[in-house]
Structure 1
Amino acid sequence: MQGKDIINSTFFQLFKPILNEKFLTALNIMDADKYVKKLKTTQLLKLLIISQLEQHRGLRDISNSLKNDELSKHISLNSISSAQLSRRLRDLPVEITETLFKTIYQEALVKLGVNTLTQNLGGVHLIDSTTISLCLSRYPWALFRKTKGGIKLHLRIKFVKDEILPDKSIVTQANLNDRRQMDNLIVEEKDALNIMDRGYVDYKKFDSYCADGVSFICRLKKNAIVEIIEEKAVKPDSNIIKEQIVYLGKDNITKMKHPLRLLEILDSKGKTIVIITNQFELDSEEISTLYRSRWQIELFFKWIKQHLKVKHFYGLSQNAVKNQLLIALITYCLLTILKIKAGYHGNLLKIKRLLHTCLYDSFQLFIKKLLYKEINYSKGRRRRANDLIYEIIERQVMSKEADHLDDLTYDPLVY
């Protein structure tokens, strides 16, 4: 039985989605804690999420964090060794963290007012991958190059009412091509729009998506073979340089059966980008704006790499690495849910930083500190009104009222 101070705490509000009835039922079905005596799955997950927020360097740091009486009380765990943590992280089934990720994602959708039954219908979905380098001698399963290891995090994120939420993730070896994961990440509903980078160019799959009515926008590679069918007029004051209807691929080998729309646009730095789409109904300016939104997934990767623990891992096994990446995505979703609960409209980093000092405060106090706006009483360094002083003195001289200027005690700033 948890005390009133724990239930009212920011810690409880942050981890409340983990206590979801569906997830707890799934844990029972999977017998997640069947032979566990000390560190239950929910306790382990909370510890690992805290380690993401605090960016602990290793398992010993996580173990030592329980010396904080507040954390120990809120998790209901006095101590755990780094060796026990290592075994639990290694043996934790990926199915558990995947189930939790889906549960937290759906909870975030509910908080945003989205019907979870139609969560994938419509909307913009951004698809991309990021490579995380690893030491090949320590991670021999993570093949990348001859002397270097690595993994790829393939991700789909979704725009939901001005918020970005990771929707689906796949972890593979870094030496595998992005195109292999396209079918697993593409949203096939009619009203959905998938936006991808040039690493996902595949003419056969594009033909298949056109036949099935799956909408996409993708950047085209420079060496693509293009057959122009029709030239379209473009607005002179637009960032659209060229618009064409084309067929892609080499005759009798890779040539597509369905025509696509090709747009040549200028990015914010003045560089030319060629994009293709099977969307013929949208305006060219809209397509250009939608493709530029793809940059949001790059910013997402940058954010989690800087502010969560995804570049250095607590375990060496493939299972431990996948679990840690999923827990990082879960942590991001939990922060988003807390942001919605607090009614805060600023950036997520401020919430993460405030949790560092206010995690065990009451949630009301946390909200008060989060929404508090500092008042700057200083007016800053004031500039002298030189132009105004000159005009005043000029008028005085012209009207022959400048005798006082001969007085050495006169200060033109006092008037």
Structure 2
Amino acid sequence: MTNSNTVLSQIVRIFPRHEFQTLANKHHAGQKFHSFFRWTQFVALLTAQLTGRDSLRDIVENMSAQSGKLYHLGIKSFSRATLSRANEQQPHEMYEALFLRLLGRCQTVAPRNKRFKFKESAKLYLLDATMIDLSLSLFPWAKYRKSKGAAKLHIGLDADGYLPAFVDLSEGKEHEINMARQLELPKDSYVVFDRGYTDYSWYQELTDSGIRFVTRLKSNAVTFPGPKRRGRKSPGVLLDQQIQLKGIDGTFRKVRYLDAETDITYEFVTNALDISAATVAELYKERWQIELFFKWIKQNLRIKSFLGTSRNAVMTQIWIVLCAYLLLAYLKFQAKISRTMQQMLLLLQLNLFERRDFLELFKPPGRKNIINNGQLALI
């Protein structure tokens, strides 16, 4: 049987050490490290995400229990105080840069979203934000209400592979539209969002930039009806009409749609005049994928409890969470693994420090093949 390093050691090779060290040198604060390095911090925090560790003490004790297997990871034992100091003081921007590099690699192997037949250059993004409750006494920077703290995680999900392409963190009271205005969406892309992003001037900016959007129309929206669009209506489409929105130029479109599954009628507004009304409805249904993304990371990774109280420590942990998600996605796409990402995570939790080929973890159990000469073929 082939001798292997630990599963974790094989996985972290996805992050080339020379590239990592270049980022570490660029994003460094304070005195030069002597025995503890950013690579140690990263491996420790990534391991915490993959194994479900909730505290600094838990992380240190877990890594110490595997001290004989840390050599192949390129790290040494470390103290809780040292890890805590690095989380608080070392710039989180380093892990943002690492996330962006891994995102680029994931996008090269991510499967194309085949639900919508757009031209090759067109991308589909799903926007939303989720609230992360925090104690105001421990996280005074995360102001939300008078006696409550919260942070808001803003995500723009790339529908090809459902990868978090745009990420930001703000105070809980920050409105979503302020973050959305900062996005640099590529021309010809489609963006889908809910009514919390309603801002007609932003709609105008998107239209002027050649970006198509789909969202729900508010019940109190002031619109000026135009001609109804010609053509045969698809099942569920009750109305397809050109409209103008109060205060901005341009022709928009209102689609009224009855969802047969829920018996709920929706009204959508879009500037996409070249797609069918049924596609407009399907695009908005696709927005549910970002809800599933938030649900997945909250249930499977550690993003509700934090290892530090500064904004830098919180952002460091969030970037590590997203790197862990991209790591699983990259493994799944690159190796064409049929198991779900949740199944992959569960298998990794049980085998992370085992010495075996990590790809074998994800292969479905198969039959043993017996060679003619009686020898057992180990695949």
TM-score (norm 2): 0.87
Change beyond 3 A, Cα 1:260–1:44? same
Segments of 5+ residues of structure 1 without an aligned counterpart are: 115-119, 250-254, 376-415
What's the counterpart of residue 136 of structure 2? 136
Task: Tell me which residue corresponds to 1:102.
Answer: 100
- For the Cα contact (< 8 Å) 1:127–1:157, is it kept in 2? yes
CA contact (8 A) 2:124 2:190 kept: yes
Q: Secondary structure at the match of 1:371?
A: coil
Counterpart residue number, 1:145: 145
Equivalent residue, structure 2, for 1:14: 11
Q: d(CA) in 2 for partners of 1:341 and 1:232?
A: 44
* Counterpart for residue 317 of structure 1: 310
CA distance in 2, matches of 1:159, 1:370: 24
Name the structure with the higher helix share: 1
1-structure distance, mates of 2:110, 2:186: 23
In structure 1, C-alpha distance between the alignment counterparts of 2:244 and 2:130, rounded to whole Å: 30
Aligned residues: 356
Contact 1:66 / 1:77 at 8 angstroms: preserved in 2?
no
| SS of the residue 1:122 aligns to | coil
Could you tell me how far apart the structure 2 residues matched to 1:123 and 1:62 are? 39
Q: State yes or no: 1:53 paired with 2:50.
A: yes
In structure 2, the CA distance between the partners of 1:31 and 1:311, relative to structure 1 (3 Å rule), is: closer
Partner of 1:66: helix, strand, or coil?
Answer: helix
Displacement of 1:30 after TM fit?
A: 3.6
Whole-angstrom CA distance in 2 between matches of 1:186 and 1:26: 23
The one of the two structures with greater contact order (alpha-carbon pairs below 8 A, sep at least 6) is 2
**Cα gap change, 1:94 to 1:334, in 2 (>3 Å):** same
Aligned residue number for residue 85 of structure 1: 83
Structure 1 counterpart of 2:243, one-letter code? V
Maintained 8 Å contact 2:88/2:310 = yes
SS in 2 for 1:303: helix
1:217 aligns with 214
CA distance in 2, matches of 1:243, 1:354: 48
SS state at 1:39 partner: coil
Cα contact 2:9–2:73 (8 A) shared by 1: no
**Contact 2:29 2:89 (8 Å CA) reproduced:** no
Encode CA deviations 1:317-369: one digit per residue, 9 max, x unaligned.
011111111110110000111223432123101110000122234563x3334
One-letter amino acid of the structure 2 residue matched with residue 319 of structure 1: N
Would the alpha carbon gap of residues 54 and 360 (structure 1) be closer, same or farther in structure 2, given more than 3 Å must change? closer
1:29–1:35 distance in 2 versus 1, CA, 3 Å: same
Q: CA deviation at 1:43?
A: 1.4
CA-to-partner distance for each residue in 1:354-408, whole Å, 9 max, x for gaps? 00122234563x3334222489xxxxxxxxxxxxxxxxxxxxxxxxxxxxxxxxx
Match in the other structure for 1:299: 292
Matches of 1:78 and 1:66, distance apart in 2 = 9
| Cross-structure match for 2:340 | 347
5+ residue gaps, structure 2: 113-119, 368-379
Identity of aligned residues (%): 28
Cα distance between partner residues in 1 of 2:121 and 2:346 = 34
Contact 1:23–1:103 under 8 Å retained in 2: no
Amino acid at match of 2:202: K
1:168 to 151, 166, 169: 166
Counterpart-to-counterpart distance in 1, 2:18 and 2:196: 40
Change (3 A) 1:92 1:159: same
Displacement, 1:33?
A: 8.9
Deviation at 1:74, TM superposition (A): 3.6
CA distance in 1, matches of 2:310, 2:262: 42
TM-superposed CA distance for 1:42, in Å, is: 1.2
Matched residue, 1:396: none
Question: Among residues 182, 185, 190, which one is paired with 1:184 in the alignment?
Answer: 182
Q: Decide whether aligned partners of structure 1 residues 121 and 92 sit closer, same or farther in structure 2, where only a CA change above 3 A counts.
A: farther
Q: How does 1:223-302 map to 2 (within 5 A)?
A: 223-232=220-229, 235=232, 238-249=235-246, 255-267=247-259, 268-302=261-295
Written as runs of structure 1 = structure 2, the 5 A alignment for 1:2-81 is 5-6=4-5, 9-19=6-16, 21-31=18-28, 35-69=32-66, 71-81=69-79
1:280 positional shift? 0.5
The structure that has the greater radius of gyration is 1
* Contact 1:49–1:327 (CA under 8 A) maintained in structure 2: yes
